[in-house]
Structure 1
């Protein structure tokens, strides 16, 4: 029991450290993407941390199996390097017994991953989709920040206001610059610049929104040329376009697992198999990691780390590829993703029993040589 607690603690501590680092790396990349959309006015900066919070379960469901895999490799590799595993082997610790001990933390992680994959992650995706839909209904005026130039349409439209009321209804010191593209031939016709003392928003019966500018000028022309057209106006209406928000979230990822069960839709069945595959992935990578963590102290603990990571990447990549083929109907639903797990489960069994089988075959060979000698 003492050995079991010691091994489990080593694995879980390493798992926590590795998963925390991976989570920070992934969240940083996604946060930068959302931050860029907020800087362009496509997202309200106030919802960034809310979106990231809802995305954490989806990140963790894929990070934890990798963290457990690396946890076994690093924790057990250190024990082999410091000859602690040699001492345990001398007291009767076989690879099969070590595997049995390793299944306890694997079961704990699998239950957590199942909770994330089947419950929390779809709920989080659903909340993110709701937030993005709400943001998609906003106009550039709803995301405008006073005192800052806001670019839309890839920089084709730039809006600025010096002041903005609390209800976003009144603007002061307005500047709008937009490229003029011909609707007939799509050619660039120069730029149009609007300046106004103030403005306010009006909503039409059809739901479209206009920015009504008061007391200003419109400048039309091509940069570098002196043929600008200047128009003074008292009232001018500008149609407010909706920000374009890009999202990598699929519709079925937000469907509750209870709705996937029993569904006849092949896409929903493929999604259900994917969600069930992630907890199963935990046990298979445990079977792979335990024999791969065995290293010679003279070779160093990182000798098998790169091949092991490549094997894990091949496993995950094959799962994703099979999921894509399952969506397209090229793989029967009865076969689904299970053949991938079966393939790598067989590889894990081969790695686990390869050394005993090799020794057994060598003993038989030596016995035959002695008998014929």
Structure 2
């Protein structure tokens, strides 16, 4: 029992450290992407942390299996390097018993991943989609920041306001530059510049919004040419386009797991198998990691780390490819994603029993040579 607690603690501590580092890296990359969308005016900066909170379960459900895999490799690799595993082997610790001990922390991680995959992650996706839909309904002035030039996503429109009321209804010191295109939307025909002392948003009965500019000028022309046309106006209406926020998830990822069970839809069944595959992935990578962690002290603990990571990436990539084929009907639902797990279970068993069999064959060969001599 002491050995079991010691090994479990080593694995869980390393798992926590590795998972924390991976989570920070992934969330930082995602946050930078959302921050760029907020800088373009596509997202309200106030919802960035809320979106990241909804994305957290989806990140964790994929990070934890990798964290466990690397945790076993690094923790057991250190034990082999310090000859602690040699001492344990001398007291009867076989690879099979080491695997059984490793399945205890793996079970804990699998239960956590199952909770994330089957429950929290779909809820998080639904919350993220709700926020993005709300943001998609906003106009550019709902996300406008006073004193900053704001470009729309396609770069065809640049907006600036010097002042903005708290309710975002009244603006002052307005500048708008917009490219003009031909009616077919192809060739650029010049630019239109609007300046105004003040402006206000006005909602029409059909739901469209207009910016009503007051006391300003409109300039039409082509850059580099002196044929600009200037028009002075007292009141001018500008239709406000709705920015499009790019989503990273599909609607089926937000469907509760209870609605996936028993569904006749092939895509929903594929989603269900994917959610069940992630907890199962935890046990398979544990089977792979235990024999891969066995290293010679003279070779270093990182010798097998790169091949092991490549094997994990191949496992995950094959799962994703099988999921895509399942969506397209190229793989029957009965076969689904389970054959991928079967392939890597066979690889794990081969790695687990290969070394003992090789040593057994080597000892038999040596005994025969001694008998002949």
Q: Deviations over 1:212-256 (max 9, x none)?
A: 000100011111111110000001000000001111111100000
Q: CA deviation at 1:372?
A: 7.1
Cα distance in 2 for residues equivalent to 1:18 and 1:367: 45
Cα distance in 2 for residues equivalent to 1:70 and 1:307: 12
The residue that corresponds to 2:220 in the other structure is: 220
The residue that corresponds to 2:230 in the other structure is: 230
The residue that corresponds to 1:307 in the other structure is: 307
Q: CA deviation at 1:184?
A: 3.9
Cα distance in 1 for residues equivalent to 2:167 and 2:245: 23
Q: How does 1:180-219 map to 2 (within 5 A)?
A: 180-184=180-184, 186-219=186-219
SS of match in other structure, 1:43: coil
What is the CA RMSD across the aligned residues, in angstroms? 1.3
The residue that corresponds to 1:248 in the other structure is: 248
Cα distance in 1 for residues equivalent to 2:294 and 2:164: 65
Cα distance in 2 for residues equivalent to 1:94 and 1:184: 73
Q: CA deviation at 1:154?
A: 2.4
TM-score normalised to structure 2 length: 0.98
Q: CA deviation at 1:362?
A: 3.2
The residue that corresponds to 1:76 in the other structure is: 76
Q: CA deviation at 1:166?
A: 1.1
The residue that corresponds to 2:282 in the other structure is: 282
The residue that corresponds to 1:165 in the other structure is: 165
The residue that corresponds to 1:179 in the other structure is: 179
Q: Deviations over 1:279-336 (max 9, x none)?
A: 0000000000000000000000010001101110110000000000000000010000
SS of match in other structure, 2:242: coil
Cα distance in 1 for residues equivalent to 2:34 and 2:230: 38
The residue that corresponds to 2:25 in the other structure is: 25
TM-score normalised to structure 1 length: 0.98
Cα distance in 1 for residues equivalent to 2:367 and 2:25: 55
Cα distance in 2 for residues equivalent to 1:185 and 1:157: 15
Write out the 4+ residue segments of structure 1 that deviate beyond 6 Å after TM superposition. 370-373
Structure 1: 5+ residue stretches without partners: none
Cα distance in 1 for residues equivalent to 2:111 and 2:321: 25
The residue that corresponds to 1:332 in the other structure is: 332
Q: How does 1:10-159 map to 2 (within 5 A)?
A: 10-159=10-159
SS of match in other structure, 1:141: helix
